[in-house]
Amino acid sequence: MKKSNKAILLIHEIYGVNDHMNFMKEKLSKLEADIICPNLLSNDVPYSYKEEGMAYQNFVQNIGMDEGSRQITNMLIQLKQEYEEVGVIGFSVGATMSWLCSESNLCNFVIGCYGSRIRDYVNRSPVCPTLLIFPAEEQTFDVDCLINSLVQKREPLLEIKKFYGGHGFMNPFSQAFNKESADQAFQTISEFLKKHLAD
């Protein structure tokens, strides 16, 4: 049931709507916005972290960035008819899809947390306030190199923050969880939203 005039679309990782997403919904619900976390996977049961390979394969074969972004765009169009303000917050692949949404005038704000594949879409230019959060280290690419590429574009609406830890440092159900960095990142998100969500 609609409780607010603001909605946040929470976009999951390759695993689906798991404990991490339910935890995030709970945490974000304190921001006086309706939190909507759609399941982009065809299966109802989320993948476990032990099934990372299967989850990744399923995402690449059955969803992918293009189809995922299309689904999210359709949801944003629908939400815009119901809410005054709509934003997206995504994690991992969800963060990359969030970044792709930043060029759309459907969003009032975009937040992406450790979107590794943003490196494939550096040329995007946000048209709404956008916050990207990265870990200090990623196994598959050089984080500082990606951040530098984004900074050099001098996008006026883009904020970038980096915190100690690895991919998944905000996820209390992950081995990569780092409480101190997670708390700092949540504080950054909260301040960003207070600044960009109208009262």
pLDDT per residue as tens digits for the range 34-56: 999 999 998 889 999 999 999 99
CB 73 within 8 A of CB 101: yes
Query: How far out from the chain centre does Cα 112 lie?
Result: 4
Query: How are beta strands 130-135 and 109-113 bridged, if at all?
Result: parallel
pTM of the model: 0.96
What is the per-residue pLDDT for 141? 94
CATH match of 6-196 with 3.20.20.60: no
What is the per-residue burial (b if ≥16 Cβ within 10 Å, else e) of 184-198?
Answer: bbeebbeebbeebbe
And the tokens for 120? 């494939």
Strands (E) in the chain, as ranges, are 6-11, 34-36, 85-91, 109-113, 130-135, 158-163
Q: Rounded to the nearest 5°, which phi and psi values hold at 138? A: -130, 145
Q: Kindly report the average pLDDT of the chain as a whole number.
A: 94
**Residue boundaries of the structural domains of the chain:** 6-196
What is the tens place of the pLDDT at every residue in 90-140? 999 999 999 999 998 999 999 999 999 999 999 999 999 999 999 999 999
What is the tens place of the pLDDT at every residue in 140-160? 999 999 999 999 999 999 999
Work out the percent of the chain whose per-residue pLDDT is above 90.
89
pLDDT for 199 beyond 80: no
What is the tens place of the pLDDT at every residue in 18-39? 999 999 999 998 888 899 999 9
Q: HSE (CB half, 13 Å, CA atoms) of 186? A: 19
2 band by pLDDT with thresholds 50, 70 and 90: low
When pLDDT is averaged across residues 181-193 and rounded to a whole number, the result is 95
Q: CB within 8 A of 73, min separation 6: which ones?
A: 101, 104, 106
Cα angle vertex 91, ends 87, 92, to 5°?
A: 135
User: Which residue, 40, 160, 181, is CA-closest to 112?
Assistant: 160
Q: How many helices (H) and strands (E) does the chain have?
A: 6, 6
And the tokens for 64? 């992918």
DSSP 8-class letter at 39: -
Q: List the beta bridge partners of residue 116.
A: none
